Amino acid sequence: MCQTSMAFATQPIPKGNRVGIITNTGGPAVIATDELVSAGMVLPLLSEKAKAILTETMLPEASINNPIDVVATGGGQHFRSALDVLMNEDTIDSIYINFVTAPFTDTDEVARQIVEVNKMHKKPIVCNFMTNQSMERYQITTKIMKDGGVPCYAFPTTAAKALGALYKYHQVSTRNIGEAKIFTDVKKENALAIINEAKKEGKTFLSSTQVYNLLAQYGIPVADWRIANSVDDAVKAATEIVFPVVVKADAESLVHKSDMGGVAINLKNAEEIRVVVENMKAKFNAPDLKFFIQKFLPGGRELIAGVSAKKDLGHLIMFGIGGIYVEVLKDVIFKIAPVTEVEANEMLSNIKTAKLLEGVRGEKGIDKASVIEIIQRLSQLVCDLPMIQEMDLNPIMAFEDKAFVVDARIKI
x/- map, 217-246, ligand ADP, by CB under 6 A: ------x----------------------x
Query: Cα–Cα distance between 372 and 369 in angstroms, integer?
Result: 5
Instruction: Provide CB contacts within 8 A for 234, sequence distance 6+.
Output: 228, 247, 273, 277, 291, 293
By beta-carbon proximity to ligand ADP, the closer residue of 80 and 290 is 290
Q: What phi and psi values does residue 352 have, to the nearest 5 degrees?
A: -60, -40
Instruction: Provide CB contacts within 8 A for 299, sequence distance 6+.
Output: 399
Q: Does 407 bind ligand ADP (CB under 6 A)?
A: yes
CB of 293 to ligand ADP, least distance (A): 10
The secondary structure element, H or E, covering residue 285 is none
Instruction: Provide CB contacts within 8 A for 349, sequence distance 6+.
Output: none
- Rounded to an integer, what is the distance from CA 154 to the centroid of its chain? 29
Q: Does 294 bind ligand ADP (CB under 6 A)?
A: yes
CB of 43 to ligand ADP, least distance (A): 50
By beta-carbon proximity to ligand ADP, the closer residue of 79 and 225 is 225
CB of 158 to ligand ADP, least distance (A): 43
- Cβ atoms within 10 Å of 377's Cβ, excluding its own: 19
Query: Cα–Cα distance between 179 and 191 in angstroms, integer?
Result: 23
From 155-163, 171-179, 254-262, 267-275, span contacting ligand ADP (CB under 6 A):
254-262
Q: From start to end of 120-244, where are the E strands? A: 125-130, 152-153, 225-228
Q: What does the binding site for Mg ion look like in residue numbers (CB under 5 A)? A: 394, 407
From 60-68, 73-81, 231-239, 289-297, span contacting ligand ADP (CB under 6 A):
289-297
x/- map, 314-353, ligand ADP, by CB under 6 A: ---------xx-----------------------------
Whether 227 contacts 249, CB under 8 Å: no
Q: Does 93 bind ligand ADP (CB under 6 A)?
A: no
| Residue 297 contact partner, candidates Mg ion, ligand ADP, none, CB within 5 to 8 A by sort of partner | ligand ADP
| Pairing state between β 390-398 and 403-405 | antiparallel
By beta-carbon proximity to ligand ADP, the closer residue of 53 and 206 is 206
CB of 292 to ligand ADP, least distance (A): 8
Whether 211 contacts 408, CB under 8 Å: yes
Whether 125 contacts 114, CB under 8 Å: yes
Residues 165-204 that bind ligand ADP (CB under 6 A): none
CB of 406 to ligand ADP, least distance (A): 4
Torsional class of 113: left (φ above 0), alpha (ψ -120 to 50), beta (otherwise): alpha
CB of 157 to ligand ADP, least distance (A): 42
Residues in the chain: 412
Q: From start to end of 194-244, where are the E strands? A: 225-228
| Residue 248 contact partner, candidates ligand ADP, Mg ion, none, CB within 5 to 8 A by sort of partner | ligand ADP
Query: Cα–Cα distance between 200 and 337 in angstroms, integer?
Result: 27
By beta-carbon proximity to ligand ADP, the closer residue of 192 and 265 is 265
By beta-carbon proximity to ligand ADP, the closer residue of 217 and 294 is 294
* Nearest residue relative to Mg ion (C-beta): 407
From 93-101, 135-143, 290-298, 338-346, span contacting ligand ADP (CB under 6 A):
290-298
The secondary structure element, H or E, covering residue 178 is none
Residues that bind ligand ADP (CB under 6 A): 223, 246, 248, 256-258, 263, 265, 294-298, 302, 323-324, 394-395, 406-407
